[in-house]
Structure 1
Amino acid sequence: MSTDRNLIQLVTPAGERISHPEFDPWVKDIGDEQLCSLYEDLTVIRRIDVEATALQRQGELGLWPPLLGQEAAQVGSGRALREDDFVFSSYRENGVAYCRGVDLTDITRVWRGTASSGWDPYTVNMATPQIIIGAQTLHATGYAMGIQNDGADSVAVTYFGDGATSEGDVNEAMVFAASFQAPVVFFCSNNHWAISEPVRLQSHIQIADRAAGFGIPSLRVDGNDVLAVMAATRVALDRARHGGGPTFIEAVTYRMGPHTTADDPTRYRDANELEDWAAKDPILRVKALLERKGLLTDRVQQHVHDKAESVARELRSGCIGMPDPEPMDIFKHVYSEPNSWLDRQQDHYARYLASFGDPAGATSEEGAR
């Protein structure tokens, strides 16, 4: 399966800026300062990923889903969004979460096991990560239909991997989105591996071509090219804002690390393939572009390094300093309103904790009964 057909690219792996008459206008506002800012984002997000992986290896996190190699797909799309757009992601879009302003400590809460969710979605207009593969696409489509009913011009954006395109939820979401011309962007990060299954088993055609069967226009973009991803995302967002309905974006990238920290990719992945994709590294690509333009000064490099290290320290401190939840907290936020069924379970659990002779966990009103 060719990876080059109809692939939108604005910056080559060597850092050469390519002219593209159709998509250049969508990033014409990205000048030298903005390029440096994107380079900072890419570097910081990779540093977050490295630090979180280290925290898991050190026993501070139960699990972590690395995004190594996929930074450009997340930064390019995340920075294209408007504040009132709403994001529905999978568990790997921690870079998008950073771009949306999610607190660093909140990113690690669920992976540390201290909470069943990470943050208040309405403070950053991003839902907490969906673990069930593809389910977030249904949520995004429903939200987009609500946007239509409200008469607003914001957009719902949903992220998922290549493997999720084989799930019924994704296909059902696309049916509804097409039928109602909902303002939703389906962003598929094709990182070539659905855990241990290669993308060629998921689809014998380009994944972007599947969208045509639903009547949804698609774009296929170099997912390691932050400028191309931004341009493609802006095109899709603009189409949705002006009543053009949904768009499917396939960002062709590569998962350089394991599926999660519980995975060993050396058991199923050819080292030569990894080496080939390492040459297309999204950060090295922007770095090379900055060098060509004479922008990568010592001052810029030091600033980016300092920012990345500061963020890593904040992430580690927030993670390790996170207080353990009280045992009875497990009943919080299960339902929007109290009900007798949950009260009964809470009462039984409080008496179970008290049977150990330490009623410390039974601190709520129900637990004290």
Structure 2
Amino acid sequence: MSSPEQWTHPQPGDSSAATAAKPTPEQVIAGLRATSEGGADLVQLLTPEGERVDSPEFDRYVTDIDGARLRSLFRDMTLVRRFDREANALQRQGQLGIWVPLLGQEAAQIGAGRALRPMDMAFPSYREHGVAWCRNVSPQDLLGIFRCSDHSGWDPVAARFHPYTIVIGNQVLNAAGYAMGQRFDGHVGDDDGEATICFFGDGATSQGDVHEGFVWAAVYDAPLVFFCQNNQWAISEPTERQSRLPLYQRAQGYGFPGIRVDGNDVLACLAVTRWALDECRTGNGPMLIEAFTYRMDAHTTTDDPTRYRLSDELEAWKLKDPIERVRAYLSRNGLADNDFFEEIAAEADNFAAEIRDFCVNMPDPPPDRIFSEVYAEPSPVLEAQRAEYLSYLDGFVGAGER
């Protein structure tokens, strides 16, 4: 059996990591601890203890983040987490068909989301509730997807935020095509240019769509930031089972830069994403960001993470909580007092109550809702399917009451 070092950091010529059937729990934990801080190349501006770290390269991208802006980022993360926890509870109580938690990934999403400019475009997977918040997509609009009553409740063109993509990695191809269009239409080349960002997880990097998106973006020099939230687990498989190298280094094979950032550090995520978007909008091509973070909850509410990971792994990452490190920094530097934190906590509770009331009282859509707004123009095939489905429903007792 291979050693933990071979499993997580195989050297050229090593074959044991590739031939080992499955890592032991001890190897998985050893691998996590070996990379728990993301390695020497990790960009970090705020430590887990809430201490500011100087970065000659990236400090200039957060010079506008004063006490007020940092308190706003804290509020963003707190409210998004509260929404996530309430939606998780609503699913357990039968109000949602499924829920995809983001617990632990708030800094990565809020940092990246707040780095976007109004004309930038974002392509999410199905976990980017924090990015949706930053793009002014109402959390209530997200609930229809997981209640299975709507395709998406927002205008993606107006919000500059694409509908959620359920198929793993498919949004990367969509984003690559959109970013290619930005270049073809001449929206790239100066500081006022546009850029696109695409979000996906570490598990998606094993999908062909992601690699095809890398190829197309590189060949056409598309203004596209690939934002990988490496939360350590692709459902039940650790990252070490998917890649011999850190994920950000994969960008080298496609000819564009890759960088690893502390995904639990909202300042670092904001700075690095601003840098990458600026590089893209000014014509310097695609970038890959690996946000090194951790999924604190299940993959979805259909998943049981206790079957494949150990509790001490979770406990270790609780010490790196993205919200608590901002709280510590604000408190230590006199930028927020207890009244502020209590005010945000109360706002979060009221917000959760609004979410619950909205979800519980959501009206059921009419049966033909599934056929509406599928295509921009009427489709004879779709209309025939609609008529056949409604005729089928009319055959049931009490159908006239619907």
1:84 aligns with 2:124: no
- Identify which of 84, 99, 112 aligns with 2:147: 112
CA displacement 1:205-244 (0-9 Å, x = unmatched): 1000001000010110000000000010011011011100
Amino acid at match of 2:184: N
Q: Are 2:270 and 1:210 equivalent residues in the alignment?
A: no
| Corresponding residue for residue 251 of structure 1 | 291
Query: Displacement, 1:310?
Result: 2.5
Aligned to 2:281: 241
Partner of 1:367: none
**1:261 is aligned to 2:301:** yes
Residue matched to 2:3: none
Q: Which residue of 2 aligns with 1:165?
A: 205
Paired with 2:344 and 2:186, the residues of 1 have a C-alpha distance of 41
The residue aligned with 2:384 is 344
1:270 and 1:359 map into 2 onto residues whose CA distance is 51
Whether contact under 8 Å (1:97, 1:126) holds in the other structure is yes
Report how far residue 361 of structure 1 moved: 8.0
Give the partner amino acid of 1:67.
L
1:181 is aligned to: 221
Structure 2 match to 1:130 = 165
Query: Partner residue of 1:299?
Result: 339
Following superposition, the deviation at residue 117 of structure 1 comes to 2.7
Q: 1:39-92: CA deviations, max 9, x gaps? A: 111111110111000101111011000010000000100011011111101101
Distance of 2:252 and 2:156 partners within structure 1 = 32
- 1:319 and 1:123 map into 2 onto residues whose CA distance is 24
Across the aligned residues of Structure 1 and Structure 2, the Cα RMSD in angstroms comes to: 1.3
Name 2:24's counterpart in structure 1.
none
Structure 2 residue 45 is the aligned partner of structure 1 residue 5: no
Q: Distance in 1 between matches of 2:301 and 2:392?
A: 34
Matched, 1:58 2:99: no
Alpha-carbon contact 1:350-1:361 (below 8 Å) kept: no
Structure 1 stretch displaced more, 1-10 or 90-99: 1-10
Q: Which residue of 2 aligns with 1:96?
A: 131
Q: Which runs of 5+ in 2 are unaligned?
A: 1-7, 9-34, 188-192
Match among 65, 68, 85 for residue 30 of structure 1? 65
Q: 2:348 aligns with which of 308, 328, 344?
A: 308
User: Could you tell me how far apart the structure 1 residues matched to 2:229 and 2:40 are?
Assistant: 17
Supply the distance in 2 between the matched residues of 1:310 and 1:75 (Cα, whole angstroms).
Answer: 21
Letter of the 2:106 partner, please give it.
E
8 Å contact from structure 2 (residues 142, 152) kept in 1: no
Counting matched residue pairs gives 362
Contact 2:129 2:139 in 1 (8 A): no
Q: Given that residues 124 and 171 in structure 2 are in contact (C-alpha distance below 8 angstroms), is that contact kept between their aligned partners in structure 1?
A: yes
Q: What is the SS of the residue equivalent to 1:44?
A: helix
Q: Deviations over 1:152-204 (max 9, x none)?
A: 21111100000101110000001010111100100000000000000000111
User: What TM-score do you get using the length of structure 2 for normalisation?
Assistant: 0.88
Shift of 1:359: 4.7
SS in structure 1 of the partner of residue 290 of structure 2? strand
Match of 1:366 in 2: none
Alpha-carbon distance in 1 for matches of 2:379, 2:137: 31
Q: How far apart are the structure 2 equivalents of 1:8 and 1:202?
A: 23
Q: Deviations over 1:253-299 (max 9, x none)?
A: 00000000111101100111111111100011101111111122123
Q: 2:183 aligned with 1:148, yes or no?
A: yes
Q: Which residue matches 1:331?
A: 371
CA distance in 2, matches of 1:53, 1:340: 39
